[in-house]
Amino acid sequence: MDFDDTPEEAEFRQEVKAWLAGQASRYDLTLQGALSLDEQLALGREFQASKAEKGYAKITWPKELGGMGGTPMQAVIYDQEEEKYDFPTVFFAISLGMPIPVMRRFATEAQKQRYLLPALRGKEIWCQLFSEPAAGSDLAGIRLRAVKEGDDWILNGQKVWTSWAHISDFGVIVTRTDPSLPKHQGLTYFFVDMKAPGIQIRPIKQATGGGEFCEVFFNDVRVPDAFRLGEVNGGWQVAIATLMEERFAVTEASGGGASLEDTVRFLRREFNDGHSGLDDPRVRDRIADWYVAESGINNFYARLLTGLSQGQLPGPEAALSKLVIAKKLQSQSSELMNVCGPAGAIYPDHQASRANDHRIAWLEAAGYRIAGGTDEILRNTIAEQVLGLPGDIRVDKNIPFNELT
């Protein structure tokens, strides 16, 4: 047992560190809070282009596709080092995380030539059009219709919770093509041009006031059959492949909010009753709880990495990280508000100091427990796919979709 890089990995880490330090010196990342979305995006695209130039945008991909031809461990090392900085990479996380790997797997050679590289360089951004008002956790319940007309498909319906749709150039989408089949069987998967006529995008104002989620309306949107990924009525398999890509986004315990070190520093100050927050035995007990959770996830992650370095890809057990981290974030930020008494509800004055603020994190945590798989769906995944408990009885599974009420 050890936590050391192999000599090759250490060398790669040094190379990455040096490159990132060079990049960081080009931007003043502390000023980002004051930038408009367009300005942040421009900064992000510039960084992404340099990153792709080095092959870092997709380290495990072959060079001819714009990658580096590296190992999964090198990808992890890069991510670990990049996370130490505050580069505006958030716009590309979904784009390069799910849609683009799916394009690589299901698109034609000519399409790959056309679409992969611009996405890796940040020139084009992709979104993932899955959820609908009536289909969230139950993804196979989607209704957005695609009807064949000559060599095209005509799309009508609505998608929702589509992150970054408003800045996206393209999107991948699951549609219903045959409602007379049971729900999983009548789906077809496409990619679409987000600038196509008939697409209307509206950011949704979230509970936090932020708006990176959108609702997307399709009104007679024409999509060429050449944009189909997978078979007609074989869209479920492509959708599952998309979701499987999420698994590889193995995370450590940093899930937003204040770090535990910062939390302890915050608590150490003297509060108005003359006591330090660290004097409170109840708070001390909670710090131990958070540390156990954080350490547990980081050490779980270290075990996954060990498997990865031996060629084992993470399985469904990786779902537990978000489950633990989101709950911990909620509890930790709430407790930091508690120790402040009534003043715990008051936001800090300066916009710039809001990043990682526990009051912001407290509200965001409520959404984090839902996004990308609710706590409940993750528990089902663990119970069925890891523990081998029987699937739920699905009353609608074998009934034609158009006969469901």
CA 42 remoteness from chain centre = 21
- Choose between 3 and 109: whose C-beta lies nearer to other proteins: 3
Q: How far is the CB of 109 from other proteins (least distance, A)?
A: 35
- Strand pairing report for 187-193 and 126-129: unpaired
- Choose between 148 and 268: whose C-beta lies nearer to other proteins: 268
Q: Contact positions toward other proteins, by CB under 8 A?
A: 1-6, 9, 13, 73, 76-77, 80, 83-84, 252-254, 259-261, 264-265, 268, 278, 284-285, 287-289, 291-303, 305-307, 309, 317, 320, 323-324, 376, 378-380, 382-384, 386-393
CA atoms within 13 A of residue 92's CA, in its CB half-sphere:
27
- Choose between 274 and 390: whose C-beta lies nearer to other proteins: 390
DSSP labels, 288-323: HHHHHHHHHHHHHHHHHHHHHHTTPPP-GGGGHHHH
- Choose between 243 and 264: whose C-beta lies nearer to other proteins: 264
Q: How far is the CB of 121 from other proteins (least distance, A)?
A: 27
Element (H, E) at 260: helix 260-268
- Choose between 195 and 282: whose C-beta lies nearer to other proteins: 282
Q: How far is the CB of 291 from other proteins (least distance, A)?
A: 5
Which residue type occupies 35? L
Q: How far is the CB of 143 from other proteins (least distance, A)?
A: 25
- Choose between 219 and 259: whose C-beta lies nearer to other proteins: 259
* Contact residues for 14 (Cβ-Cβ < 8 A; gap 6+): none
Of the candidates 261, 292, 324, 309, the residue with the CA atom closest to the CA atom of residue 2: 309
Of the candidates 322, 301, 331, 337, the residue with the CA atom closest to the CA atom of residue 372: 322
Q: How far is the CB of 213 from other proteins (least distance, A)?
A: 27
* Contact residues for 11 (Cβ-Cβ < 8 A; gap 6+): none
- Choose between 45 and 247: whose C-beta lies nearer to other proteins: 247
Q: How far is the CB of 160 from other proteins (least distance, A)?
A: 25
Q: Other CB atoms closer than 10 Å to residue 264's CB: what's the count?
A: 16
Q: How far is the CB of 258 from other proteins (least distance, A)?
A: 11
* Contact residues for 321 (Cβ-Cβ < 8 A; gap 6+): 250, 251, 253, 297, 300, 301
Q: How far is the CB of 240 from other proteins (least distance, A)?
A: 20
- Choose between 8 and 53: whose C-beta lies nearer to other proteins: 8
CA distances from 192 to 56, 229, 261, 387 (A): 27, 11, 45, 38
